[in-house]
Amino acid sequence: MATVISPVADICRSAKRAARALARVDTSTKNAALEGVAAALGERVEEILEANASDMQAGREVGLSEALLDRLLLDEGRIEGIAKAVRQIVALGDPVGEVIDGHRLENGLDVRKVRVPLGVVAVVYEARPNVTIDAAALCLKSGNAIVLRGSSSALHSNAALARIAGEAAVAGGLPEGCVSLVAGGGREELAELATQKGTVDLIIPRGGEGLKAALEEVATVPVIYAASGNCHVFVDASADLDQAEAIVLNAKVQRPGVCNAAETLLVHEEIAAEFVPRIVQALGDVGVEVRGDERTLALAKESLGTIEAATEEDWQTEYLALTLAVKVLGSNEEAIEHIGRYGSGHSEAIVTRDTDSARAFQLGVDAA
């Protein structure tokens, strides 16, 4: 398989040839090949860890934040989790060939709408090497060849994982070139990948607004934009404040560098006087810097937490770090409006004990 650095167009042409063959592969062969990928991950842990150590060292040298280093890190437990995810994909039904609609015409002709593979899917992603395997396994299961383009910060990890996945897939009966990796270099390479109209059928970017903007400038291949992670937690007037505190801390602190980490906390004014000082203090105790609106600043002035005034930019920012914007709002409708204006459509939460409030939030907020 192509895991060495080679011209993007050559990699995509090879993937296209593989896609034509892969579309005809039966379910049992695909599942066996994916089982082989999962097994290979376990057998080649040391190879993966060695590659990841090189990326971690380089990341520290260029000053990556702890949150971004956490996204980059692989250990035995995380590799085991990646292999487990592959086996979960094996257990899914095969979408290829599924009949999703059908009818008979008056002349007796049967018409069916059947799921078929897309062809070649290019996945462009940032410093999360687990995506290498997640994306490859999903594409192979659905009969698609994949071209991977990760970030330079995970270059060695992605190369090792793609090599292992590609070799195991081919050994399991899938066509050569079904898993390919481009180098993860600069904008020129991204632009070349995004313009391979004859060979790449779809690009899926997984990253922030910068990646989205870069692709929007140049892409001639169809693109499905995944949402970035400007995610909110809204604490309603009826919330259990002990529960709310635990949820907010977990949503922000557990892994701040992932796309579903909370970036903004919205607090209903009816419980703000009690909850805001408490949560700012609790966030400060675990190293989170708060950016607050005027009402938050006034309520938290006695808190020992780190807090400064929020700007308009803070409501729009996916920090991916131990920073949280906090705003006090007068109603549930204001919270829904705020999320509609600034949210990215990824993940949103309400903490409430009121069924009507929960239902209104569910209906009013557009998020995955």
Which among 53, 209, 31 is positioned nearest to 137, based on CA atoms? 31
Residue 361 has what pLDDT?
96
Instruction: Give the C-alpha separation, 1 to 14, whole Å.
Output: 9
Q: Are residues 171 and 256 in the same domain?
A: no
**Is residue 1 scored above 60 in pLDDT?**
no
Q: What is the DSSP letter of 288?
A: P
- 117-131, 261-275, 298-312: range with highest mean pLDDT: 261-275
Mean pLDDT of 150-155: 91
Strands 323-329 and 202-206 turn out to be unpaired
Residue 76 has what pLDDT?
97
In terms of pLDDT, which residue wins out, 183 or 322?
A: 322
Mean pLDDT of 199-215: 86
Q: Are residues 192 and 296 in the same domain?
A: no
Q: Are residues 245 and 351 in the same domain?
A: yes
Instruction: Give the C-alpha separation, 350 to 229, whole Å.
Output: 16
Residue 213 has what pLDDT?
82
Residue 227 has what pLDDT?
62
Which among 15, 223, 9 is positioned nearest to 124, based on CA atoms? 223
Residue 6 has what pLDDT?
60
| Residue 107 in domain | no
Q: Are residues 252 and 170 in the same domain?
A: no
In terms of pLDDT, which residue wins out, 259 or 338?
A: 338
Q: Are residues 52 and 155 in the same domain?
A: yes
Mean pLDDT of 144-151: 95
CATH of the domain at 315: 3.40.309.10
Of the residues 153, 184, 218, which one is the last residue of a structural domain?
A: 218
**Is residue 142 scored above 70 in pLDDT?**
yes
Residue 210 has what pLDDT?
78
The model's pLDDT over 39-61, given as tens digits with 9 standing for 90+, comes to 999 999 999 999 999 999 999 99
Q: What is the count of structural domains for the chain? A: 2
CA 307, distance to chain mean position in Å, is: 29
Q: Are residues 154 and 293 in the same domain?
A: no
**Is residue 19 scored above 90 in pLDDT?**
yes
Which two tokens mark 146?
Answer: 């994949």
Q: Are residues 30 and 158 in the same domain?
A: yes
CATH of the domain at 59: 3.40.605.10
Q: Are residues 200 and 295 in the same domain?
A: no
Question: Which residue in this structure is represented by tokens 């919205």?
Answer: 266
Domain containing 144 equals: 8-94+112-218
Give percent above pLDDT 70 in the chain: 97
Cα 257 to Cα 80, 176, 213, 323, distances in angstroms: 20, 35, 20, 11
Residue 250 has what pLDDT?
97
Residue 4 has what pLDDT?
44
Mean pLDDT of 265-288: 96
Question: Exposed (0-12), middle (13-18) or buried (19+): which is 21, by Cβ within 10 Å?
Answer: middle
Q: Are residues 192 and 57 in the same domain?
A: yes
- How would residue 3 be classed by pLDDT, with cut points 50, 70 and 90? very low
Mean pLDDT of 21-38: 97
Mean pLDDT taken over the chain = 93
What is 168-227 written as a DSSP string? Answer: HHHHTTPPTTSEEE-----HHHHHHHTT-TTT--EEEEES-HHHHHHHHHH--S-B-PPP
Q: Are residues 60 and 199 in the same domain?
A: yes
